[in-house]
Amino acid sequence: MMPEPLNNLERLCIHSITTKPWTIEEATINYSSKGVHGITVWRDALTGRNIRQTGEMLRRHGLKTVSLCRGGFFPSAEPAKRKQAVDDNRRAIEEAFELGTNLIVLVCGADPAQPLDDSRKQIQDGILSVLPDAEAAGVRLAIEPLHPMYADTRSAINTLAQANDLAELINSPWAGVAVDVYHLWWDPNLEKEIIRSGNNGTLLAFHVCDWKSPTMDMLNDRGLMGEGCIPIRKIRSWVEAAGFKGFIEVEIFSDRYWKQDQSVFLQDIITRYKQYV
């Protein structure tokens, strides 16, 4: 068999949470010294910082802030909590604007105290409430469907078809979808739904990692690319056939990798990105 061609790093973006033990300042220096061009910033990495200056620091090091992670968590059986969620999403939009990114990823949320349909309706209402703020700030909102194992508390949106339905219903240039291979690789309709989001012009982000078998923890045992069973290159080919030309974002939550020397881990990410993405 012919070896697969190696990627260069032009489109590689890394989520700050992937190297969680590093501060945003350490991540910036290390990513840029390795030739990484993109970063997605998790909001916890901004705690105690001047966000505008942090954005400037990233740009000075040649890093584009691909998105801010994350907004969402709209549903709750309690109206006061739904209002808090809308306020928090407004803050996320301000933070994205100050940081200098035009995209927020939404982990939409769910409340096990109520039916999924109620949560879905509240997600729609929540997005519609903050959409004018997003437009005013020039920030788009990407609905990220999550694997159904998270349907109890993290997201009532579990397939790309549901995310596409919601984006079509909202019908705004400021709302689209994010495709994360970890959440969606198992879906027999994935190729069709990726093409649908491409045709709608709503395919805003592409996240990669791998599904380890067995997976030991539902949240923090994601694999490096090539370590599991996700056909990443095939899914990437669908995403590109749908017209997506943006960054390819490595997003790994892993207690195992967070315990390692993060410089060694970063080199592994780069090697495996070249080989398997």
Whole-angstrom distance, CA of residue 123 vs CA of residue 204: 18
- Least distance from C-beta 209 to Zn ion, angstroms? 8
Do 216 and 257 touch, CB atoms closer than 8 A? no
Residues composing the chain: 277
Q: Which is nearer to Zn ion, 82 or 108 (CB)?
A: 108
Nearer to Zn ion, 66 or 82 (CB): 66
Using CB under 5 A, which residues numbered 183 to 222 contact Zn ion? 207
Residues touching Zn ion: how many (CB under 5 A)? 3
Decide if residue 180 touches Zn ion (CB under 5 A): yes
In the complex, least distance from residue 205 CB atom to Zn ion, rounded to whole angstroms: 8
CA distance 262 to 146: 27
Distance CA 267, CA 277 (A): 15
Residue 180 or 187 having the CB closest to Zn ion: 180
| Closest approach of Zn ion to the CB of residue 183, in Å | 7
The residues that bridge with 221 in the sheet, in sequence order, are 254
Nearest residue (CB) to Zn ion, 82 versus 176: 176
Taking CB under 5 A as the criterion, the residue among 95, 111, 133, 251 binding Zn ion is 251
Lookup: tokens for 184: 């969606």
Residues 6+ apart with CB under 8 A from 148: 158
Chain centroid to Cα 251, Å, comes to 7
* Shortest distance (Å) from residue 52 CB to Zn ion: 26
For Zn ion, the binding residues (CB under 5 A) are 180, 207, 251
